[in-house]
Amino acid sequence: MNREEKKVVIDSLAEKLTAYAHYYITDTSELNAEQTAALRKLCFEKEVKLVVAKNTLFIKALEQTGKINEEVLPSLKGETAIMFANVGKSPAKLIKEFRKANPKPVLKAACVEDCIYLGDAAVEELVNIKSREELIGDIIGLLQSPAKNVISALQGSAGQKIAGLVKTLEARG
């Protein structure tokens, strides 16, 4: 691969790093052609971009985008496939689902919500992580809960009692 070809690959990886919010570094070695095709198909269905790249080129792309992290560098050894996604837990769910029938991919490292997760044991943790949107939804639900309780109380039998008390007070006044 000459210098120009390497630059094209680095630029392509850098573009993906800026286009997608999260990335997973995985090991897909030992998957045969059929398993690899099935993994690529599943990635397409789950809106996860799967790219196999040389470690040195991926490191240069990380440097180019300013997303280089010293914790991730040791995991860039051997064969590497990178999964890019906009939903942080979707690659983890995909890995877990795919490994029901296959031994790989194995998670080496992941950068999700600007946090670094190392090792395959983090897959379970990543599957259960909530996205930013899910957390905002939970907070809104919690904030709405007291208001819903007041409204339902006013609409229910307690509301009729309150209305009766108001009418009684008005009649006295």
**Residues 76 and 104 occupy one common structural domain:** yes
**Residues 94 and 24 occupy one common structural domain:** yes
pLDDT at 161: 64
Q: What is the CATH number of the domain that holds 26?
A: 3.30.70.1730
For residue 52, give the H/E element and its range: strand 49-52
User: pLDDT of 102-150, one tens digit each?
Assistant: 888 999 999 988 888 998 888 888 888 777 777 788 788 777 777 666 6
DSSP 76: -
- Distance of alpha carbon 127 from alpha carbon 87, whole angstroms: 11
| Domain boundaries, position 42 | 3-129
Average pLDDT, the chain: 85
pTM, two decimals, is 0.75
Structure tokens at 169: 């007070």
Tally of residues, the chain: 173
